[in-house]
Amino acid sequence: MGLTDYESKAYLSLASFISATALEVSETSGVPLSKVYEVLRSLAKKGFIEIQRGKPLKYAIVPPQDVFGKSRARIKEELEEAESEIKTIYDNQIPKSPPHIWLIYGTDKIITKELEIIGCAKDTLHIATGFMFHDEVENLTEHLSKALKKGVQTRIITAPCCITDGEEVEISENLKKLDCEVKTFQIPFIKVIIRDKKEMMLIFCRFKDGILISQTAIGVWNQYTEFVENIADLYNLVWTMNLPTKLQL
């Protein structure tokens, strides 16, 4: 919350007194008397305590819910500002840096990267998913809803459902609740997310007897723009085709 060690000790001391003199604060907090007046003035300036006039001066704690509420709002604002600044630097550097392909292991890390890609979308999202992990649909729909509110044009080709680790996961019915174009097609066990024709993520999993084994999941994060553009164009070509609801084997 931006307090020094002495300020923290003085504030905690006042929390037990509600109102006290500088001498009382010094004796109970361990802050030297030579420093305590300066520390209390700083706490007052930061809005943690109030100075009550009189002889001697008394210092009263501001109700903690007020202090923490303001601090929480300030910290949130500073974090959002820092995130925005760093994201701007990151986005500006991506075109200047050599493209990369990264392998990502583990469902948690894969889902985190998927949501990050969706959150960065400005113009378009192309998604094809033949499977989902448990609890992934809820996270995905939440972030897709935010992207749609920003005006991101979104197209989704999805399997009706899948069986992950022995449990059925409904996919199509949940994604159809989104305000975007959704086509249902029993596609293979693969997932692709393409953002703005600039980056994409391919996710693969092993499966046995039609059951997905989530612990084998591998994500391939690709920033080769030319390749991503070609895959996006291929996606749009497939989109215009009449897709049957089931594969004809």
Domain housing 39: 5-62
Pick from 196, 205, 204, 194: which is nearest to 231 by CA? 194
Residues 114 and 185 in one domain: yes
Residues 46 and 138 both lie in one domain:
no
69-114 pLDDT, tens digit each = 888 888 888 888 888 888 788 777 666 666 578 999 999 999 999 9
Residues 111 and 213 in one domain: yes
In DSSP notation, 168-193 reads EEE-HHHHTTSSSEEEE----SEEEE
188 Rama class: left (phi>0) / alpha (psi -120 to 50) / beta: beta
The model's pLDDT over 161-211, given as tens digits with 9 standing for 90+, comes to 999 999 999 999 999 999 999 999 888 889 999 999 989 999 999 999 989
pLDDT digits (tens, 9 = 90+) for 208-245: 998 999 999 999 999 888 889 999 999 998 898 876 55
Looking up residue 21, the CATH number of its domain turns out to be 1.10.10.10
